[in-house]
Structure 1
Amino acid sequence: MDISQDLTVAERMRSGFEELTRAERQLANAMLANYPVLGLDSITAVAQVSGVSTPTVVRMAKKLGFAGFPEMQAALRGELEATISNPIAKHDRWAASAPDTHILNRFADQVMENLRQTLRQLSPETFNAVVALLSDPSRTVHMVGGRITRSLAEYFFTHMQVIRGGVVQVASNANTWPHYVLEMREGDVLVAFDVRRYEQEMLRLAEMARAKGVLLVLFTDQWGSPAAKLATHSFHARIEAPSAWDSSVVTLFIVEAIIAAVQDENWEETRARMKSLEDLFDQTRMFRKFV
């Protein structure tokens, strides 16, 4: 099993899942369902919770490219530290080993590597399934983001609102979320954005929506939000950057690709909505005209 050393443990499990034995798949599913917490326990506890033997834990660790369980566990500890890092810690980590090149070049190199790594992990089947859900007029689509990612949710909402009806932008104030959940119906779709340092309210919203039969489409990072265990579909975008802040470039790339695909799926309806909207813009003289 040829797996890049740059991948997280979760990415290694997902990318190599088909090559695992039945018991190893059972173990991988258990670890992904409680990631990374389960993997930080003793090897005996990991085996017992997963319903497999301790040799199975060792074998899977080696299949994932580790020397053994202790090395895999060390990688998980490093990931956990990364997910809870504050902006100052992230900046200092990058600054300590920054090469003597312009920030534009360093940032561009990292963003391109993020895109390459993400595309290697992104399943076309998952992408197509999400497009199908968002194109289904019988489903109301609710969109929500966190403290930083709410701008991505708003961007996605603005485009989707033009493409189709039945799209709701959930307010960023978590105190109002029960009001939005009240209006959700079984079969609806909740599109949520949650990256490190994962927000507790987002997990609670996902739990409330899931209890009503709402399907969760989650945009998260390479480590994975705790809400991922409740998601019908998840996009794990690489977000590392030579900055105190995480990069949203790859996440936005996936969002824009979905917008283009959903637009094409129901183009006649979208075209009619666009024309009506342009007429309204003309009435309000919102945009400057040169003729």
Structure 2
Amino acid sequence: MAQTAQERIRKVHDTLTRAERQLAGTILENYPMSGLGSITRLAEKSGVSSPTVARMVQKLGYSGFPEFQAALRDELEAQITGPIAKREMWSKAAPQGHILNRFTDAVIGNIRQTLASVPPGEFDAVAALLADESRAVYIAGGRITHALSEYLHLHLQVIRRHVQHIRTTSNAWPHALLDLEAGDVVVIYDIRRYENSTLKLAEIAAAKGAKTVLITDQWQSPIARHADYAFNCRIEVPSAWDSTVTLMLLSETLIAAVQEAAWERTRDRMGALEEIFDATKIFRKFV
């Protein structure tokens, strides 16, 4: 799968000059729309020269600014594409192999590229935040990703106290933020087509001084502007629907890391939960 312009920028960021980093910041601030104007407009907005823009897009592997903009337009089209249009575009170039193999190959590719883009230091920092019981944790998702947010909430609730699931589809979701304090952690899942409710949630959380963790797709939700940490997960597969396998992988890995960071506490809470299960006879026992 081709790298997005955003992924290319992040990959070469450490090799950029001061002016190029300034330019990169402008591009990423309102990505990809920020790069769709003229080269002169982008240079002026970034406070750099037009030749600086031309040099940097070549560093990213594009032949020039027109090719860079064409890539951005393709990404923007991909972001706003609905399920029916997605299926029609894919089927034109569908391979002959069985769907089991084609789909699995796509998912494995997504996993490889996603893991390659996750900075271990940022992952560890987020795991430490989630393990810190002095901070409350709030978790939210969207129309599709609410299932992932519920999954993360269910497991973190066993590991630690003060974990709350925010149902952003409800008119009552602002109530959940009444107790949000500076330093608390807000985890938000948001993939294309990005939702206004989760964006507003992120804006409020940032205004309250919370630490926001965004789990999003390769094009990156607008929530990134308000996030302290953002993990970009590959989601494209040969289907009308996007795949959330990589988001689930990242979520389960975070759960494992948080569990290990506070194992004694986790073990005690697991034991107490099992006693409650036994008392309520929720699960069958065969011995």
Q: Structure 1 length as normaliser, TM-score?
A: 0.97
Unaligned runs of 5+ in 1: none
1:156 aligns with 2:152: yes
Partner of 2:267: 271
Name stretches of at least 5 consecutive residues in structure 2 with no aligned partner. Answer: none
2:104 is matched with 108
> What's 2:77 paired with?
81
Deviation at 1:174, TM superposition (A): 4.3
Query: Structure 1 stretches (4+) deviating beyond 2 angstroms?
Result: none
Alignment partner of 1:18 is 2:5 = no
Offset at residue 242 of structure 1 (A)? 0.5
- After the TM superposition, which residues 32-181 of structure 1 pair with which residues of structure 2 at under 5 Å, given as runs? 32-181=28-177
**1:166-189 alpha-carbon deviations (Å, 9 max, x no partner):** 100012324222211222111001
- Aligned partner of 1:260 in structure 2 is 256
Question: How far did 1:114 drift?
Answer: 0.5
Q: Aligned partners of 1:126 and 1:114: how far apart in 2?
A: 20
CA distance in 2, matches of 1:23, 1:79: 25
Structure 1, 119-128 or 140-149: larger mean CA deviation: 119-128
**Structure-1 separation of matches of 2:15 and 2:167:** 43
**Aligned residue identity for 2:88:** D
AA aligned to 1:16 is V
Structure 1 CA distance, aligned partners of 2:178 and 2:33? Answer: 32
The Cα shift of 1:250 comes to 0.6
Separation (CA, whole Å) in 2 of partners of 1:107 and 1:156: 25
177-186 or 131-140, which deviates more = 177-186
1:174/1:201 contact within 8 Å kept: no
| Aligned mates of 1:41, 1:179 — CA distance in 2 | 40
Specify the code of the residue in structure 2 equivalent to 1:260.
A
Amino acid at match of 2:59: K
State how far apart, in whole Å, the 1-side matches of 2:194 and 2:169 are: 16
Aligned pairs, how many? 287
Match of residue 249 from structure 1: 245
The whole-number CA distance in structure 2 between the counterparts of 1:158 and 1:181 is 19
Structure 2 length as normaliser, TM-score?
Answer: 0.99
Superposed displacement of residue 122, structure 1? 1.0
The sequence identity of aligned pairs, in percent, is: 55
Secondary structure of 1:246's match? coil
CA contact (8 A) 1:140 1:166 kept: yes
1:231-284 Cα distance to aligned partner (Å, 9 max, x none) = 100110000010010000011001101100000000000000000000000000
Distance 1:100 1:213 in 2: 52
Q: Which moved more, 1:169-178 or 1:210-219?
A: 169-178
CA contact (8 A) 2:138 2:187 kept: yes
Task: Say what the alpha-carbon RMSD is for the aligned residues.
Answer: 0.9
SS in 2 for 1:143: strand
